[in-house]
Chain A
Amino acid sequence: MVPPVAVSPLIKTARYSALIAGIIYGKRRYDQLKPIAAEERRVEEEEKKVREEQERIAKAIAEASEESILNLMKMP
């Protein structure tokens, strides 16, 4: 087996400081993005409710107009 390489201290410190910096960066970005995503979800929920309300109204109007056509056909 090849004997293990003696890694230079510069590379070792660079590796582990990069690791710790990455952990800190990841945690900070996650905490920053979480409320933004929650806000977007809330806005999406409200818009969906408004959209569904409008669709319901449109469907009711469509059914009402359809009834009048059928009634016309049923007239003697």
Chain B
Amino acid sequence: MAQAVQKLVAKVPTLIGAAASYSKPRLATFWHYAKVELVPPSPAEIPQAIAGVKKILSGVNSGRLGQTTVKEAFRNGLVCTEVLMWFYIGECIGKRGIVGYDV
């Protein structure tokens, strides 16, 4: 029993090394994409966002939104779902738990 534990403890550095070498390229890929896609908006981009909202509202008023194709509508629906999920992730962070409130 003690020998098995010793052998396991001796293997831990190799395991950690293997995990690091497995995850490094994947982390690099993730970082490569996240640096461009997941960054928060810079202060210069916020007026552009407000302009985008105004454009959507004017599209509603002019009836242009009725012209969207099903493909576009589906894509927009997916984007809205993703934004909604960020809200739920924020809620999990705020309540400091994944499932339920730990009162």
Contacts and interface: CB of A to CB of B under 8 A. Distances in A.
Interface of A: 1, 4-16, 18-30, 33-34, 36-38
A18 to B, nearest CB: 4
Contacts of A30: 94-96, 101, 103
Given A1-B29, A24-B94, A26-B91, A12 B103 contact: no
B40 to A, nearest CB: 5
Contacts of A4: 32-33, 35-37
Contacts of B95: 26-27, 29-30
A26 B89 CA distance: 10
B79 interface: yes
A22 B91 CA distance: 4
Contacts of A19: 86-87, 89-90, 93
